[in-house]
Amino acid sequence: MLTASSIAQILVNGLTAGAFYVLMALGFTLIFGILRLVNFAHGEFYMLGAFVVYHLYAQLGLNFFVALAAAAVAVGVVGIVVERVVFAPLRSRELSMLMSALGLQIAVQGIMAVLEGIEGLSLASPVSGVYRSQWITFPYERLLVVGVAFVVLAGFYGFIKHSKIGRALRAVAQDGEAALMQGIPVNRIYAVAFGVGSGLAAIAGGLIGPVFSLHVYMGQAALLKAFVVVILGGLGSVPGALVGGLVLGLAESLFATLFGGLTSDMLGFLMIMGILLWKPTGLLGRAEA
């Protein structure tokens, strides 16, 4: 039986999960939109972000937000280097790029397993306490996820919409060859897109670390979520990532309340099945991905 308060609670939980999924899918969809690369290593940048935050915040005692920003920048720089070294030489060979992304995924996991070990680590949340009203309980650490996601999204929107680099990004996403002829340094834009996308994944990882435990293989589950979101919303579509992420978060939250035991991955899968039967290019996707 759904009461008004349980509906409110479903919304709150769904919003938290959704905010996280949006962050995860945003970088993934950006990288696809610009590089035409299905980045299987995206989950690894998320994992790297979580570990950077863990070391800076939990071990060195830096301010959480400073650690988060540092993780975004550091992983973003790693992303730029990776793009230059691994993907730039394979430009426009989609299958080679895809396989390299898989190789990168497993190599990064392996390196991190050597460096960090494979045990799960837990991380104290930077905020504690719970907001309670007669309707909902909203743990502050979840509120933090939603808040940071909102700020990052607003920043990302401004960057894409109004900055010079943002305009170049949109131009390349629309038509790489035409952008090149307009004198846009396309190669640099590829690197920027990969860096920004990786940085976004790192923020998602740093945020989720306090909520769950972190371990070297945490990227896999997050990657699957990003996949579901981009299939829902359409690959390469930024509004699609936003809508898809929130839809998935809310649907999972609703199902968890109604049916409990059903694993959320199964739900995501069934949702994609349904959506694709109805519309083979995702909710907001274009005909050709």
Closer residue to another protein, CB minimum distance, 7 or 284: 284
User: Residue 169, by phi and psi: left (phi above 0), alpha (psi -120 to 50) or beta?
Assistant: alpha
CA 188 to chain CA centroid, nearest Å: 22
Alpha carbon distance 199, 181 (integer Å): 29
Least distance between another protein and beta carbon 93 (Å): 6
Residues, the chain, total?
289
Q: Decide if residue 181 touches another protein (CB under 8 A).
A: no
Least distance between another protein and beta carbon 109 (Å): 6
Lookup: tokens for 167: 């305009």
The interface mask with another protein, positions 62-101, x = CB under 8 A, is ------------------------x--xxxxxxxxxxxx-
- The DSSP letter of residue 89 is G
How many residues form the binding site for another protein (CB under 8 A)?
50
Alpha carbon distance 100, 95 (integer Å): 8
Alpha carbon distance 54, 46 (integer Å): 12
Sole binder of another protein in the list 230, 242, 246, 248 (CB under 8 A): 230
Phi, psi of 127 (to 5 degrees): -125, 150
Closer residue to another protein, CB minimum distance, 9 or 109: 109
Closer residue to another protein, CB minimum distance, 20 or 40: 40
Closer residue to another protein, CB minimum distance, 104 or 256: 104
CB 211 within 8 A of CB 54: no
Least distance between another protein and beta carbon 124 (Å): 30
Q: Where are any strands of DSSP class E within the chain?
A: 130-132, 137-139
Where along the sequence are the contacts to another protein (CB under 8 A)? 32, 36, 38, 86, 89-100, 102-111, 113-114, 176-177, 224, 227-228, 230-231, 235, 263, 265-266, 268-269, 272-273, 276-277, 280-282, 288-289
